[in-house]
Amino acid sequence: MRRLRISTFALALALCAAPAAARAATASPPPKASVPNRIDVTKIQPKALLPKKKLHTEFVVEVNRLGQVTRVRSGKRSTDTTYNQQTYGNALQAFIRTPDGHAISGTYKLSYDFDPKTARVHRDVALIREGGVDPDAKGAALDMMSKAHPRPSPSPAAAAPAPSPGPSVNGQRLPDLNGIMKPSPKPTAH
Look at the pTM and tell me if it is higher than 0.75.
no
Answer yes or no: is pLDDT of 2 > 50: no
**Domain total of the chain:** 1
Amino acid making up residue 14: A
Kindly state whether residue 180 falls inside one of the protein's structural domains: no
177: which residues sit within 8 A by CB, 6+ positions away? 142
Kindly state whether residue 2 falls inside one of the protein's structural domains: no
Kindly state whether residue 37 falls inside one of the protein's structural domains: no
Kindly state whether residue 63 falls inside one of the protein's structural domains: yes
Kindly state whether residue 160 falls inside one of the protein's structural domains: no
Kindly state whether residue 67 falls inside one of the protein's structural domains: yes
- pLDDT tens digits, residue range 136-177? 999 999 888 888 887 776 655 555 555 555 555 556 676 777
72: which residues sit within 8 A by CB, 6+ positions away? 59, 60, 61, 88, 91, 92, 140
Kindly state whether residue 96 falls inside one of the protein's structural domains: yes
Q: How far is CA 134 from CA 25, 128, 131, 147, in A?
A: 76, 16, 8, 20
**Structural domain of 120:** 47-146
Kindly state whether residue 78 falls inside one of the protein's structural domains: yes
23 three-class SS: helix
- pLDDT tens digits, residue range 45-81? 677 788 899 999 999 999 999 999 999 999 999 999 9
Question: What angle in degrees, to the nearest 10, is found between the helix axes of 140-148 and 81-92?
Answer: 100
- What share of the chain has pLDDT > 70, as a percent? 61
